[in-house]
Copies of this chain bind each other. A is one copy, B any other.
Amino acid sequence: MAHDKARFAYDGLDRTIHEKARLGILTSLMAHPRGLAFNDLAGLCSLTNGNLSRHLLVLGEAGLVSVDKSYKNNRPHTQVLLTEAGRQRFLDYLSVLEQVLKDAEHAAGTADSAARLKPV
């Protein structure tokens, strides 16, 4: 059987973005162009403060998010934003993800048809 070499390698699935928790963080930030307070982001993604900090460090080092510390009503406030580069890389990632879904759903459909063709 001949196969397209590396047909299902999905090199574009950037591991920095693909990690489950980080995928949630980036989607949250994409939905909030003015950024999110650290605590709101933790709640939306169901992450502990420690876990969120750890993932923001990874995303920050990759230049995907910025973390701005300031004061709001005399209390420390941390605001997290998607950078423009982060937005672009996330959109690129999403187009690969869309291809994965298309491939898998096409495959599932094909497998269904094959099953239906089998004699009972």
Contact = CB atoms under 8 A, between A and B. Distances in A.
Interface of A: 1, 3-11, 13, 15, 18, 20, 23-28, 30-33, 40, 43-47, 87, 90-91, 94, 97-98, 100-101, 103-108, 110-111, 114-115
A20 B31 contact: no
A9 B97 contact: no
Number of identical monomers bound together in the oligomeric complex: 2
A33 B111 contact: yes
A44 B13 contact: no
A90 B88 CA distance: 28
A101 B111 contact: no
Nearest to A6: B46
A1 B111 CA distance: 46
A9 B27 CA distance: 10
Given A31-B110, A44-B7, A94 B101 contact: yes
Given A30-B108, A31-B110, A110-B31, A100 B7 contact: no
